[in-house]
């Protein structure tokens, strides 16, 4: 399985995003590199795509697959792309507050600690549907690690398309995410323009 091993803070600086978009509380002391010349339109579009791929931890082949999926859905392609990405199981676990970062959520899923409708699902790219119940496996609930994660993320706001129960460490997908539910700044129309060429 291919993995992006680049240092997170360095990549955040390069793409001009805050580490909080990655679930990291550290504030970078240095500003994003201004660059020596004004970026071209293609450069702006490419940076936006790289930023979204990096935040969700998706590589190019899979990202292209999600874009093709989004073009077949009814609605604005860019918004549908973000909706598909938000529906990934690892992202849902992160958004429910059961992981501190999307990377940590991906690890929890891969290790079989997450259940969907009571059944173990260890595929981070699994796309959730409205009505599905996402929960932490019983073995994992009682661990000090999980208690620490939940305590650290207790102040995080759960988006309105999800319903989280912190006592049972479970959550229900009420509906699919909308554009307003995205927790970082993104110009998805640039990604659509890039792929439309």
- Count structural domains, the chain: 2
For the purposes of burial, counting CB atoms within 10 Å of the CB of 74, is it exposed (0-12), middle (13-18) or buried (19 or more)? Answer: exposed
pLDDT for res 150: 84
Residues 147 and 136 in one domain: yes
Residues 26 and 79 in one domain: yes
Tens digit of pLDDT at every position of the chain (197 positions): 466 666 777 777 777 777 666 666 655 455 555 556 788 899 889 999 999 999 999 999 999 999 999 999 999 999 999 999 999 999 999 999 999 999 999 999 999 999 999 999 999 999 999 999 999 999 998 889 888 888 888 888 899 999 998 889 999 999 999 999 888 888 999 999 999 87
Residues 17 and 60 in one domain: yes
Rounded to 10 degrees, what is the CA torsion of 115, 119, 122, 128? -70
Residues 147 and 93 in one domain: yes
Residues 133 and 170 in one domain: yes
Domain that holds residue 140: 88-175
Question: Which residues in the chain belong to E strands, given as ranges?
Answer: 114-116, 119-120, 133-136, 162-165, 170-173
Residues 95 and 169 in one domain: yes
Q: Is residue 1 part of a domain?
A: no
Residues 190 and 145 in one domain: no
Is residue 55 within 8 A of residue 102, CB to CB? The reply is yes
CA angle 134–138–142, rounded 5-degree value: 115
Q: Is residue 3 part of a domain?
A: no
Residues 171 and 188 in one domain: no
Residues 16 and 64 in one domain: yes
3-state SS, 110-140, equals HCCCEEECCEECCCCCCECCCCCEEEECHHH
Residues 72 and 19 in one domain: yes
Distances (CA, A) of 170 to 62, 89, 92, 116: 28, 13, 11, 10
Q: Is residue 2 part of a domain?
A: no
Residues 171 and 93 in one domain: yes
| Lookup result for tokens 């999307």 | 102
Residues 161 and 191 in one domain: no
> How many angstroms separate the CA atoms of 128 and 92, rounded?
8
Is residue 175 within 8 A of residue 161, CB to CB? The reply is yes
3-class DSSP assignment, residue 87: coil
The CATH number covering residue 123 comes to: 3.10.290.10
| Lookup result for tokens 């955040």 | 12
Q: Is residue 150 part of a domain?
A: yes
């Amino acid at each position: 399985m291919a993995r992006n091993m680049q240092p997170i803070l360095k990549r955040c600086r390069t793409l001009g995003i805050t580490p909080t978009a990655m679930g990291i509380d550290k504030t970078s002391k240095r500003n994003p590199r201004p660059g020596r010349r004004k970026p071209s339109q293609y450069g702006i579009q490419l940076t936006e795509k790289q930023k979204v791929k990096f935040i969700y931890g998706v590589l190019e082949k899979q990202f292209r697959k999600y874009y093709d999926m989004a073009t077949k859905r009814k609605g604005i392609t860019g918004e549908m792309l973000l909706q598909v990405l938000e529906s990934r199981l690892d992202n849902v676990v992160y958004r429910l507050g059961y992981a501190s970062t999307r990377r940590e959520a991906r690890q929890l899923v891969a290790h079989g600690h997450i259940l969907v409708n009571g059944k173990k699902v260890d595929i981070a790219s699994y796309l959730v549907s409205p009505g599905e119940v996402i929960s932490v496996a019983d073995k994992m609930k009682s661990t000090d690690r999980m208690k620490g994660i939940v305590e650290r993320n207790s102040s995080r706001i759960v988006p309105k398309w999800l319903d989280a129960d912190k006592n049972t460490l479970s959550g229900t997908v009420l509906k699919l995410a909308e554009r307003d539910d995205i927790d970082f700044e993104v110009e998805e129309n640039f990604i659509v323009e890039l792929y439309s060429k």
